[in-house]
Amino acid sequence: MKTIGDSKIIEIPKVHDERGSLAVIEKEVVPFAIKRVYYLYDVPSDSYRGGHAHKEQESVIIALSGSFEVIIDDGKSRKRIMLNKPTQGLYIPTNIWREIDNFSSGAVCLVLASTTYNEDEYIREYKTFKNQSMG
Ligand code: TYD
């Protein structure tokens, strides 16, 4: 079973000069083949997103703009991580519960996903997730 210790911050290479910064995600940077990219924007600051785990999907979450906090939970331990740099991605393996809150104004949350969208691989009930993670 995966634990929150299998989650990690990925550093995204960047090129910076007086014209600004450019960050590049090539396939070596992400520990899976990207099948889908989606992003959250226009998020009210009191919004709560996520609240699910995935049976199949691995993800990398990036604060492209602004900041927010991601809670990761493996059923035994829970950790809160602030993302506020467009050059840092939070890798989340399968079977880890995640919640996202404390969005700053103008925050953009980019998600790189290893699967196409399939509601059947979501676990949306914390109780179901918790029972499953206990084996
Ligand atoms: P939801 O899973 O609630 O978003 P979050 O995890 O950010 O809180 O998804 C919101 C809606 O969008 C829900 O009806 C499912 C739909 N959706 C898609 O159609 N395709 C996708 O790739 C995703 C991530 C969500």
pLDDT in tens, 33-84: 999 999 999 999 999 999 999 999 999 999 999 999 999 999 999 999 999 9
Looking from the CA of residue 36, the nearest atom of ligand 1 is 22
Q: Is 47 left (phi over 0), alpha (psi -120 to 50) or beta?
A: beta
Per cent of the chain over pLDDT 90 is 96
DSSP letter string, 16-51: EETTEEEE---GGGSSS---EEEEE-S--TT--EEE
In contact, 62 and 112? CB cutoff 8 Å: yes
Which residue(s) pair with 60 in the sheet?
A: 91, 112
Query: Measured from the CB, is residue 49 less than 6 Å from ligand 1?
Result: yes
Tokens in use for 9? 């911050």
